[in-house]
Structure 1
C-alpha cells in the first residue's frame, strides 16, 4: 500500500468515523504545498496580431461567428447582428458600456428577480468577457462588470460577446488562469452550446445559446 493511498484512506476513515484497521494508518497530514508548475505556458511564439488571428480561427472552427470592428463602430456592428436575427428585445448586464448598444432596440437590464422564464423571452443578450483564449478558442466570463450573472448567457438563445483586443486576449489556458479567480463564477464557452448523441448527431442550444457572435473590438 502506498503512502498516498494510506493517507487518502485515513482521511476517509476520519470523515466517516470508522475505526482504523489492525494495521495502523498514518494520521492525516496537512495538504502538501502547491506543486511547482514548470510546464510550457504557451505553445509557440506569436505576436499580438497572430494571437488574435488564432483566436478568431478557433472560434470559427467551433461555429461561432467572429466580427472585427473599431471601437467607434461597435454599436453599428452589434446593431447589424441584432437586425440579422430580427431581435428587438435585448438583455444587458449591469456595467455594460452604453456605447456598445445600438438605437432602435428594447434594452432590458438584468436584475436579481429576473426568472428563467423572463430570460427565455428575450431575443438576445450582450455581454463583455473576462478573457479570451486563443489556443482553445474559448471565451471566459467571471461575472464581472458588463458580464452579469451566469444564467443570462445560458438561457437566451443568442449571445453577443464583445472582446476587447488585445487587452483581453491571451495565448493559452495557463495565461488565462493567471488572470482569473477561482472564487468567482466562471463560465468557459467555446462556440455555441452543442452536444452529440452516441451516433454523433450534433444538437445545438441544449445547455446554452444556440448562436454565439463574438465581436473583436480593436483598439
Structure 2
C-alpha cells in the first residue's frame, strides 16, 4: 500500500511540473493544492488554512525537492514519530508557505491551525453522534444544511485512501462537521478539503485525457501533450 501511495504522490508532483511547463497556471495551482493536501493528510496533518491560500507554482528544482521530502517524511512517520521527524515536518510546512505571497504569515497560520485541530475538543455535532438517543437530532440538524459535501467514496478517491479508512476517520472525528445521513452514510463538508469538487473534476478530466491518448498511441510521453 505504501509503495502504491508513493507512486501516486510522485505522479502528482510530476504532473504539477508538467502543467507548469505547459504554462497552464490555473490547473498547475489546483493540482499543487491537491498534492499538498494528500501529502499532509497522509502525514496525519490537517490545516484548513491552505484552502484559503493562493499558490505560485515554484521552479522545477523546488518541486523535485518537495516531492523528495514528502516521500521521506511519510516513510519515516510509518516507522516512528521522533522529534527529528516533526522537525522535518516543520521544514516541509515552511517550504509550502514559501510558495505563497506572505510566507511568514502563512507559516504561522498553518502551524496555529494544526495545533488548534490537534488540541480542540469534540464538536457539539460529534458529541451528538455518539449518543444513540440524539442521533436523529444530529441527522435532522445537518440535513437542513445546504452546504456541499463529499461522500466517503468521493473523499477516498480524492485523498487516495480506502473507503474504510475514510469512514474510520469520520468515526474518529478527523473531519470537522462530518455527519451521518438518514440512511446512515457519512457526509463530509467540502470545507474540510483544500480543493473543491469543481476543481477536482477538472484535474480528473486532465488525467483522463492523458489515459485516452495513451490508449490511442501506446505509451505517450506526457511532456508532448
Q: Structure 1-normalised TM-score?
A: 0.24
Higher-Rg structure is 1
Compare the two structures and name the one with the higher strand fraction: 1
Compare the two structures and name the one with the higher helix fraction: 2
Q: Structure 2-normalised TM-score?
A: 0.24
Question: Which structure's relative contact order is higher, taking Cα pairs within 8 Å and 6+ residues apart?
Answer: 1
